[in-house]
Each structure stands twice: as C-alpha cells, then as structure tokens.
Structure 1
C-alpha cells in the first residue's frame, strides 16, 4: 500500500469518525424522537463507513486512523453551544449538515484528485453514494426546519 493511499483513506476515516461521534451525541441531546432515530441511524452509517475504510487500509497493509480531527471537535463544540443557546433541534441539524458538507467534499475531492491512488479511489467511489445520501437527508431536513421557522 502506498503512503498516499493510507493517507487519503485515513483522512476520510477521521472525518467520518467526527460525524459518527457528533451524531451519537446529538441523538442523546434532542427531545424530538424522529430526530433521535435519524441521528442514531446516520451514526450507524458513519460507523459502517469508518469500518469499511479501515478494512481497506488494513487490507493494503496500513494502520487505520483511530481518532477524529481537530476541526470536527471544534464543530461539535460549536454545535453544543449553538444548541444550548437556541433551538436545540435546529442547532444540531445545522451543524450536522455542515459536518456532512465536510465529509462529502472530502470524498468528492478524493474521487476527482488525479493523485488519489486507484485502490483508494475504488473504495471512495464505492462509498460515495452512501455519503451523498446522508448529506442530502441532512440538507433537506435543515432546509425544511429553516423554512418552518
């Protein structure tokens, strides 16, 4: 496995792990049962992404990333503050949608980057529809909540 493949996939693992942890926390903090269920479901999807990306890194002889990112930690903290100071449900949805933007952008970039090794690109392209679906769900939810205000 090239260092570039491990680096590319490990960056995606860290960002997906950020999302997983943020969704798990949000599911504990919101009162709305439908949102709790949605957040828990997407946290499970993020966990599966982390597992699949980690397996690809291991299969190629690399060591999978086992933590999130600083940006993800800051985004999660901002989401907590925002939810505490205002509409908890909308605050979490808005910040989680931002997290989805970040993951989708990273996946899109890895799939388009000419320097992404073929082994990494294959995994990224295979998982991209799932990443896009989670993003679209949260974007739609955020817009619906914003328009309902």
Structure 2
C-alpha cells in the first residue's frame, strides 16, 4: 500500500517535470534573447533528466512510469499552459514572469512530497536534489527578471 502512494506521488512529480520540460522548450523557442534561449534549453534538458530519474524510481517501486492512470495534474498543469500562452508575445519579461510562477508551483509540489513520511531515503535523496535544482532555477530566473525589467 505504501508503495502505491509513493508511486502516485512520484507520478505527480513526473507530470510536473514533463510540464516544465515542455514549458522551457517553448520558452527557448519564443524568447528574443540568445541568453534566455540557451538558459531555457538547459532547463528543459534538466527537467528531462529529472523525468528519467523519477521514471527509474517509479519502476524500482514496481510501478509503470509510462502508464499514466492518475488524473490531470490540475493547477500546475494550468500554470504551464498559461506560460505557453504568454510565450506567444515573444516578450522576454513576460516569459520570465511566467517561468517564476511555474517554478514556484513546482517547488511547492516538491516540498509537499518531501514531507511524506513514507518515502524511502533513496527517494528522498532524488527528490531533494531535484528540489534544490528547481530552487536554483527559480533564484536565477528571479535575478534575470530584475535584469530584464529595466
């Protein structure tokens, strides 16, 4: 029973990583700045790596990471949909604002999953590293947001 809960939690984070990966891919395509294009491409690759790690962890717990039986991701998914819509303007400042919103939501999801007392130390390690990567990304994007505000 505990494995099923952990698998469900990891699948939720897997969906979040996928949304982030796609969001950053779109951001890289639509940003005007070469600096931002490169940065967003790197973040998209990072999220793809996170996806692979989560899929491996789900598989190790006996779950099927490719069989998404859960419901929609909900609010976070809508946030990334809003981000994708913001990219149509090719406005670097708007893109950065949207990325901050997405990263704050992702960070919230990681924090919630890390509070689950039933997760194994190995999964805690994976999630902690990923959470710190999301936090670093958020910090960097917030700094760029200030830079591009002027």
TM-score norm. by structure 1 comes to: 0.83
Alignment partner, residue 120 of structure 1: 123
CA–CA distance in structure 2, aligned partners of residues 35 and 107 of structure 1: 25
**Deviations 1:23-43 (Å, cap 9, x if unpaired)?**
001111112111100100100
CA distance in 1, matches of 2:87, 2:4: 39
CA distance in 1, matches of 2:143, 2:56: 31
Partners of 2:123 and 2:91 in 1: CA distance: 37
> Is 2:73 the counterpart of 1:69?
yes
Instruction: Give distance in 1, aligned partners of 2:98 and 2:147.
Output: 15
Q: Which runs of 5+ in 1 are unaligned?
A: none
Offset of residue 66 of structure 1: 6.5
**Structure 1 residue runs of 4 or more that deviate by more than 6 Å after TM superposition:** none
TM-score normalized by the length of structure 2: 0.83
Unaligned runs of 5+ residues in structure 2 are none
**Count of aligned positions:** 145
